[in-house]
Amino acid sequence: MTDINPPGEIILSSETLQKRIAELGAQITADYADDPPLLVCVLKGAVMFLADLARAIDLPLEMDFMAVSSYGNSTKTSGVVRIVKDLDIDLAGRHVLIVEDIVDSGLTLSFLRKNLSSRNPASMKVVALLVREGRQKADEELAYIGFEIPPDFVVGYGLDVAEVYRNLPAIHSYTP
């Protein structure tokens, strides 16, 4: 295991996360009542959020997974996005809901939206659990936002540093 400091203070408790996810699920259920979306989970960070969000959406759902990387083992984005695992399901004619853990600079999300748009979905929206205040370099339209947080690095609830701390039930601040 990498020698890193334990996480800092709790930014969002498990209870706070679950309450907001239930609200997002209800909103998505209402918005997609006539045509359920295909949930596209951005691995690895969004997997916890996807699992809870999918259970909060009262519609028949399909899911697929895509892995992209712009951080590596760093706490700062490299600015270079690469696809590590692509989707298995054809997006053509589908209503796609990208499930993202955190929007920081917006570069990864911008890359994803361009890449997935080229696959001819009927519609594409984004649900982000977290948005870092004041950090977006690309102006991305987010249909659903869980929380806006300060620009600090955070871990827990799927978010990691060097693959550690994803399993924490709350979101914590992290100082390297």
104 among known catalytic residues: yes
**27 by DSSP, 3-state: which?**
helix
What is the bridge-based pairing of β-strands 154-155 and 144-149?
unpaired
User: What are the DSSP calls for 78-135, one per residue?
Assistant: -S--EEEE--SS--TT-EEEEEEEEESSSHHHHHHHHHHHTT--SEEEEEEEEEETT-
- In the DSSP assignment, the letter for residue 167 is T
CA-wise closest residue to 61 among 89, 23, 103, 100:
89
Catalytic residue of the set 35, 52, 64, 104: 104
Rounded distance between C-alpha atoms, residue 23 and residue 148, angstroms: 15
Token pair 């693959």 is at which residue?
Answer: 163
Give the active site residues.
104
